[in-house]
């Protein structure tokens, strides 16, 4: 079956991560996404050479799109012709750049009332930070994410582009909402997403905890700042297990069936979560003394019998071979200019309909085709 967004045209004046992540979701749902790349290409093409000599970021973010290499300053008429036919226009250029080129949201929506526009920026279209360049690390820092990530001794950035991904997902959901609204009203919308505000939404727990509790969540590595036991523990053979004890019933089951030490559940040091936090080092010593005498399979067996929430800490390679994903047949093959790659199906599964997951384009691969289609 054709994708639910088949027949929609998305024109994306995009680069790096946030906007390409949003438009790739639209392409997977069947939209035709024309990606406008500057001469020399989206600079994300040069981030690394890990995937058959291609950038891992670019391969991840740009499947199913058509690449048009275009100097918009020299040939604005081409972009104007595309926008005239478009349902959605997405851009994440440097602050103010699209407006200077004549493709600001106000101008576009005035000329094309049914058009949905989406501007993605670091800090938003006004305010003292408006003109600042923004990259993921910088937004993680400004949003306070780095301050609560890492160990007590050393803060750390999150290992993925959290700010870019957050902005991309809010752009994607905003575009879908605007398209639904257009079906009812006949008019498009101008959407604005800032990376700071997108990641700020994800900072809701630490904001409330720190603002109203008086102190921010402490950096606790792989442990939880306010729940114990919750975090990484090691079996005697080196297998690392992440535990998550959420309530007192689970705590009692854990002591009885996993530790085989029911008396620990009523120890005055550990009787409530608050007590366990105060005495976390002593609690960890008890857990380590038991887990250290077990193999990974033995420990997993005990945790499963106790119905305790846990996970095996996996490497990226182990994730790629995850038995759950294999059982659910979640991997597909996507072609790239330099060879096929594996790719996960998008998380939202439509029963009886599969995401399109088209090939990753070479730079300018579709320039002539699109120009002929436009009659330029």
Q: Which residues are annotated as catalytic?
A: 164
Q: Do the strands 240-244 and 309-312 form a parallel or antiparallel pair, or are they unpaired? A: antiparallel
CB-CB contact of 163 with 198 (8 Å)? yes
The whole-angstrom separation of Cα 150 and Cα 157 is 8
Distance CA 285, CA 159 (A): 29
CA distances from 263 to 227, 251, 258 (A): 20, 12, 13
Runs of H (alpha helix) within the chain: 18-28, 56-61, 76-85, 97-100, 105-111, 136-142, 162-185, 195-202, 204-213, 248-253, 273-278, 280-291, 296-305, 316-320, 323-327, 367-374
Half-sphere exposure of 3 (CA within 13 A, CB side): 22
């Amino acid at each position: 079956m054709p994708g639910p967004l088949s027949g929609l045209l998305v024109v994306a004046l995009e680069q790096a991560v946030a906007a390409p992540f949003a438009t790739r979701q639209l392409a997977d749902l069947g939209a035709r996404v024309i990606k406008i790349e500057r001469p020399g290409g989206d600079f994300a093409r040069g981030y690394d050479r890990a995937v058959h000599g291609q950038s891992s970021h670019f391969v991840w973010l740009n499947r199913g799109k058509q690449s048009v290499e275009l100097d918009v300053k020299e040939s604005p008429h081409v972009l104007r012709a595309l926008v005239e036919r478009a349902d959605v226009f997405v851009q994440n250029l440097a602050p103010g750049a699209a407006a200077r080129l004549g493709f600001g949201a106000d101008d576009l929506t005035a000329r094309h009332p049914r058009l949905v526009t989406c501007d993605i920026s670091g800090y938003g279209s006004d305010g003292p930070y408006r003109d600042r360049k923004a990259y993921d690390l910088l937004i993680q820092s400004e949003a306070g994410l780095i301050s609560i990530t890492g160990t007590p001794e050393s803060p750390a950035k999150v290992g993925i582009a959290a700010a870019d991904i957050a902005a991309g997902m809010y752009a994607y959901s905003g575009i879908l909402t605007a398209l639904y609204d257009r079906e009812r009203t006949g008019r498009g919308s101008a959407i604005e997403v800032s990376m700071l505000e997108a990641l700020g939404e994800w900072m809701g727990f630490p904001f409330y905890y720190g603002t109203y509790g008086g102190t921010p969540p402490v950096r606790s590595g792989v442990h939880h700042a306010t729940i114990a036991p919750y975090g990484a523990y090691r079996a005697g053979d080196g297998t690392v297990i992440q535990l998550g004890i959420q309530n007192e019933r689970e705590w009692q089951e854990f002591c009885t069936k996993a530790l085989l030490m029911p008396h620990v559940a009523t120890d005055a040091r550990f009787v409530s979560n608050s007590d366990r936090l105060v005495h976390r080092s002593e609690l960890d010593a008890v857990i380590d003394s038991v887990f250290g005498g077990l193999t990974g399979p033995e420990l997993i067996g005990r945790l499963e019998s106790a119905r305790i929430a846990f996970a095996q800490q996996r490497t990226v390679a182990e994730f790629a071979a995850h038995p759950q994903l294999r059982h659910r047949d979640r991997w597909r093959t996507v072609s790239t200019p330099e060879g096929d790659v594996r790719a996960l199906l998008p998380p939202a599964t439509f029963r009886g309909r599969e995401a399109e997951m088209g090939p990753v384009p070479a730079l300018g691969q579709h320039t002539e085709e699109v120009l002929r289609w436009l009659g330029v």
